[in-house]
Structure 1
Amino acid sequence: MASRIKRRWRPRSLLQQVLTAFLLVMLPIGVLIHLAGQSFSQLSELADVSAREAVDETRRARQLTNLSTDMERSARQYAVLDDQSLLEIYGERRARYSDLLNEHATFMGNTPLIQSLRQQLAVLETLPAPGEESLSAQLSEFSRFTSSTEALAEATRRQVDARIDEIRDQAGRVTTRLWQATLALVSFSLMLILFFTWRIIRPIRQLEQRILGIGGSGDSEDARPIQGPLELVNLEERLEWLSARLKELEEQKQQFLRHMSHELKTPLASIREGSGLLADGVAGEMSQRQREIVMLIDDSGQELQTLIEQLLDYNLLQQNRRLNVTRFDVASVIHEVLSKHRLALQQKGMVVEERRAPLYWQADRARTARILDNLISNAIAYGADEGRLYISASADQHHLTLDVANSGQAINERDRDHLFEPFYQGSSLRKGPLKGSGIGLSVAAESARAQHGTLSLVEDTINDCEVCFELVLPWIVEEPSQDTPSLPRAARKKPALART
């Protein structure tokens, strides 16, 4: 798998993928910075050129206005003084006006006003000699010439304003394009970020699901192979190896438990059979002291057999998680389980309060009985001598609640969080010659979880009992497509207790 990934064009390692993602995400941002720089440079250059042109054209229009006034003044002085030097000054000013007008025409264009000024300037090219009647007529043309020049200055100002408005509009268009490019490139960068984030997060989540499948009951055999960075692909191979190794160890553990349980039960059966024959007097009459020793051996063998059966139950729960759902009477199950422990309860001197009224429920009867059996065994082992054992059952439309409480020493606070862990031994002292295995409550809790229920130690005391366990089981339908049926009339009755 790893060799197949290596042959592909995409980045092989996680570092390469992160660096590639960084470069690709930064690329649109770099393009955006370049476009912004070009736009600002273009606007700056356009504004600079336009400002210079506006200043030049305004200054030229002012000069033309001044020159028209100076030309009129020189012409009138010449008509009064008849001085040739004034005529030369007039000619210089007229020539200067003609040059400036030609320069101004490149900015304004060959407008009718420019053409009119050129015609008027041609008429004013030469001045008649003083005393001639045509001189006064020509001098009267200067008022129209000055007015036309002022009109040219006004047109120049309007042209400059129009150019400024055009620059402002162009700046707005550039800004709009820049914002559009920003939106597009930032969106593209965001898409790249989301894509590469998905590319990195997806195999990590697949690995997480694979780990959860290895650690829990999930089956990861049909999981899709991880496609991603080479480090994560290699990690998947390590997880597959670890999963296979864990399964191998689990099989070895189950095999060990089966063999050990069988090997223990075989000699134990012989011991119990021999102690039973001795107690029955087959080998001859025994003294009272000998009979007490034989009974001690038999009782210890019985407790050892109970521990082995709990170990077998734990092993069976780990292997088989399927439910055998049936409809049964909860009160009957309680009575059957109590019958198994009747002698132990009598020896303990415990007073039992149990439910006698029928209460029908639908769940796994064997697992429910196993839970009750472990809870009652726990109450006998740790409960007070000549104490009380309280078992009640009640139900609503969807849940069955079983309470098993006993009098005696309360469970230590530091033991409560680990109470349902396999093989955990609490600080409370077990009453009896044999120490417990620490898996009774674990088997009970596992049986409750297998039926989608809960088993918990409740804080509130019931009937002055210091230790109380509460089992909550749902109504389990046989077919997943069926709706949860209504409970029978008997299931809705209040719990009825009988003292034995």
Structure 2
Amino acid sequence: MTSAVSRRWRPRSLLQLVLLAFLMVMLPLAVLMFQAGQALSELSRLADQSARQAVEETRRARTLGALALEMERGARQYAVVEQESLLEIYDERLAEYRRLLAKQRELLPDDPDVEALSGQLDRLAELPELPLEAFKQRLTDFLPFAEHTEAMRHATNRRIDDRLDLIRQRAETVQHRLWWQTAALVSASLILMLLFTRLIVRPVRQLERRILGIGSTGRSAQPSPVQGPAELVSLDERLDWLSSRLDELEEQKQQFLRHMSHELKTPLASVREGSALLADGVAGDLTDHQREILELIDASGGELQQLIEQLLDYNLLQHNQRLEIERLDVATVVKEVLAKHHLGLQQKGMSVHCFDGPLIWRLDRTATARLLDNLVSNAVAYGEDGGELEIRARATHGCLVVEVANSGEPIPEEDRARLFEAFYQGRIRRKGALKGSGIGLSVAADCARLQHGSLVLAEDDRLAVCFRLTLPAPDADHQESLTAPAVADARNDP
């Protein structure tokens, strides 16, 4: 019920989720752009209004100063030439000055110079009505009138400067507010981006882990259902089907290997038993040519049995991952493996050089013996007739190192990268009647990995092919071998 409810708000497709993520991430940025536009519009309006007022007030202050000069000039001219037209001009300038001063009072309501000018205008308005002598004596009133007019102009400039300072402070306040809004909204966009990225990437990573699990182990243990867009949920369902199908195919393959191995081993045992009876002379004496044919049949039967055993080993390693660690003498395990290949080595005419024991180590007998068996079998199959097989071992730095080297044709560079792949056939032809299965080295590498070790193709100064097995100690209490290692030439088997 919870899952069904939680999925109601989820987009039904990946495209819807991407579009929703784009819109949600862009929404804070759009709000930021809108608020920035509003703030810039407000600042622009204030700046334009202030500029207009400053121009108008500055022009009015200059006009008042010019009118004051014209009034003084007209009054002094009248005192000299006594023309009535000059008084009319004087009255017009006085009225204009009074009108502009009234507007200037709105800008400077509490300015003392404006108050003083109002009183002086009343006194100057009395001049046209005075006798000429009194008129001339009152001309000195224009000196303080000019001083107060100039002081009023400076006061106007200061008021304009104060208004510009207020606009500048307002701009700084708006700038700081925009910075905080930018930080907050961009952070919100980043958080939304991370949230939607997680919503998109999380199911993709779940699918990736699922695919890696299927590819590495053939199945994904207890997969969690993918919660996300419909396309990814559908892909997860397809992976479920693929995993089930792979499990079915793997089971069919293992069943086929078991049945085929059993079906092959039964007639093969009869063939080898019959060839052994003929070789013992049960059916009568054999000629040399007939005995040679029987030996060929018996050798081919042995190689075929070895191939079947390799298939069984490969099948077992793919499903049985249990280890039985015990203290063993590595030299004893190696000699037991060499004893199984005594006839093959003797027929090849290869001289064997094996280290002396005891070399005690904790390992799995079955896996180690199977690994060494495949390496020795590989040396018999591909080694040089009449060549050398050398097995070296040493314990160093908490690891057991075993090297199996043989003379013969070196492994080509192009084969080395895929040397341990199952069923891979290299360019070097196997010496013998049967072609190899291509899983011997793969089984050997799996046996090494099963014990947390590694098997690599190493370089050797004398011999063409050298495989190096490195096995770590199972625990810290057994990192030191109980005996010192011995290397090569300790035994020489024909």
Q: TM-score range by the shorter chain?
A: over 0.9
Q: Distance in 1 between matches of 2:376 and 2:485?
A: 24
- What aligned pairs does 1:159-198 form with structure 2 within 5 A after superposition? 159-198=159-198
Q: Distance in 2 between matches of 1:212 and 1:289?
A: 58
C-alpha distance after superposition, 1:84-142 (max 9, x if no partner): 33333222221111110111112222423222221222232212522455x45533222
Which secondary structure state, in structure 2, belongs to the residue aligned with residue 392 of structure 1?
strand
**Greater mean alpha carbon deviation, residues 20-29 or residues 330-339:** 20-29
Seen in structure 2, the aligned counterparts of structure 1 residues 465 and 7 have a Cα distance that, compared at 3 Å, is closer
C-alpha distance after superposition, 1:411-451 (max 9, x if no partner): 23332222222122222222222222211111111111222
1:475 counterpart = 2:487: no
- What aligned pairs does 1:6-25 form with structure 2 within 5 A after superposition? 8-25=8-25
Q: Distance in 1 between matches of 2:89 and 2:291?
A: 158
Q: Distance in 2 between matches of 1:209 and 1:240?
A: 13
- Which residue, out of 463, 475, 483, partners 1:465? 463
C-alpha distance after superposition, 1:56-78 (max 9, x if no partner): 11111111112222222333334
Q: Distance in 1 between matches of 2:183 and 2:204?
A: 31
Q: Distance in 2 between matches of 1:218 and 1:324?
A: 25
Which secondary structure state, in structure 2, belongs to the residue aligned with residue 200 of structure 1?
helix
Q: Which amino acid aligns with 1:50?
A: S
- List structure 1 runs of 4+ shifted beyond 6 angstroms: none
CA contact (8 A) 1:461 1:467 kept: yes
Aligned to 1:75: 75
Aligned to 2:423: 423
1:488 counterpart = 2:481: yes
Q: Which amino acid aligns with 1:395?
A: A
Seen in structure 2, the aligned counterparts of structure 1 residues 80 and 321 have a Cα distance that, compared at 3 Å, is same
The offset of 1:6, in angstroms, is: 10
CA contact (8 A) 1:79 1:129 kept: no
Aligned to 1:278: 278
Q: Distance in 2 between matches of 1:430 and 1:488?
A: 37
CA contact (8 A) 2:325 2:363 kept: yes
**Greater mean alpha carbon deviation, residues 45-54 or residues 112-121:** 112-121
C-alpha distance after superposition, 1:238-260 (max 9, x if no partner): 00000000001001111111111
Q: Distance in 2 between matches of 1:131 and 1:111?
A: 34
Q: Which amino acid aligns with 2:479?
A: S
Q: Distance in 2 between matches of 1:66 and 1:427?
A: 111
Which secondary structure state, in structure 1, belongs to the residue aligned with residue 363 of structure 2?
strand
Aligned to 1:65: 65
Aligned to 1:296: 296
CA contact (8 A) 2:75 2:86 kept: yes
Seen in structure 2, the aligned counterparts of structure 1 residues 439 and 457 have a Cα distance that, compared at 3 Å, is same
Q: Distance in 2 between matches of 1:40 and 1:254?
A: 76
The offset of 1:322, in angstroms, is: 2.2
Q: Which amino acid aligns with 1:488?
A: S
Q: Which amino acid aligns with 2:160?
A: V
Q: Which amino acid aligns with 1:331?
A: A
Q: Which amino acid aligns with 2:248?
A: E
Seen in structure 2, the aligned counterparts of structure 1 residues 434 and 201 have a Cα distance that, compared at 3 Å, is same
CA contact (8 A) 2:307 2:436 kept: yes
Aligned to 1:403: 403
Which secondary structure state, in structure 1, belongs to the residue aligned with residue 404 of structure 2?
strand
CA contact (8 A) 1:352 1:390 kept: yes
Q: Which amino acid aligns with 2:460?
A: T
The offset of 1:365, in angstroms, is: 2.4
CA contact (8 A) 1:382 1:430 kept: yes
C-alpha distance after superposition, 1:199-250 (max 9, x if no partner): 2111111111000111112752322211111101100000000000000100
- What aligned pairs does 1:85-124 form with structure 2 within 5 A after superposition? 85-124=85-124
The offset of 1:23, in angstroms, is: 1.7
Return the TM-score normalized by structure 2: 0.93
Which secondary structure state, in structure 2, belongs to the residue aligned with residue 124 of structure 1?
helix
Q: Which amino acid aligns with 1:307?
A: L
Q: Which amino acid aligns with 2:348?
A: K
Aligned to 2:350: 350
CA contact (8 A) 1:117 1:145 kept: yes
Q: Which amino acid aligns with 1:203?
A: P
CA contact (8 A) 2:353 2:488 kept: no
Q: Distance in 2 between matches of 1:438 and 1:409?
A: 18
Aligned to 1:47: 47
Q: Distance in 2 between matches of 1:150 and 1:298?
A: 133
Q: Distance in 2 between matches of 1:484 and 1:191?
A: 51
1:453 counterpart = 2:446: no
Unaligned runs of 5+ in 2: none
1:254 counterpart = 2:246: no
Q: Distance in 2 between matches of 1:52 and 1:295?
A: 120
What CA RMSD, in Å, does the superposition of the two structures yield over aligned residues?
2.2
Q: Distance in 1 between matches of 2:449 and 2:248?
A: 25
Which secondary structure state, in structure 1, belongs to the residue aligned with residue 417 of structure 2?
helix
CA contact (8 A) 2:382 2:431 kept: yes
Aligned to 2:241: 241
Which secondary structure state, in structure 1, belongs to the residue aligned with residue 130 of structure 2?
coil
Q: Which amino acid aligns with 1:436?
A: G
Aligned to 2:142: 142
C-alpha distance after superposition, 1:33-56 (max 9, x if no partner): 222222222222221111111111
Q: Which amino acid aligns with 1:129?
A: L
CA contact (8 A) 1:5 1:230 kept: no
The offset of 1:267, in angstroms, is: 1.7
Aligned to 2:412: 412
Aligned to 1:480: none
C-alpha distance after superposition, 1:138-167 (max 9, x if no partner): 332221111111100011111112222222
**Greater mean alpha carbon deviation, residues 420-429 or residues 203-212:** 420-429
Q: Which amino acid aligns with 2:84?
A: Q
Which secondary structure state, in structure 2, belongs to the residue aligned with residue 418 of structure 1?
coil
Q: Distance in 2 between matches of 1:68 and 1:96?
A: 10
Q: Which amino acid aligns with 1:495?
A: V
Aligned to 1:229: 229
Seen in structure 2, the aligned counterparts of structure 1 residues 286 and 274 have a Cα distance that, compared at 3 Å, is same
Seen in structure 2, the aligned counterparts of structure 1 residues 218 and 188 have a Cα distance that, compared at 3 Å, is farther
Q: Distance in 2 between matches of 1:82 and 1:433?
A: 149
Q: Distance in 2 between matches of 1:228 and 1:183?
A: 31
Aligned residues: 490
Q: Distance in 2 between matches of 1:309 and 1:432?
A: 17
CA contact (8 A) 1:381 1:430 kept: yes
Q: Distance in 1 between matches of 2:89 and 2:426?
A: 125
The offset of 1:311, in angstroms, is: 0.9
Which secondary structure state, in structure 1, belongs to the residue aligned with residue 424 of structure 2?
coil
C-alpha distance after superposition, 1:13-38 (max 9, x if no partner): 11111111122222222222222222
Seen in structure 2, the aligned counterparts of structure 1 residues 231 and 4 have a Cα distance that, compared at 3 Å, is farther
Q: Which amino acid aligns with 2:301?
A: G
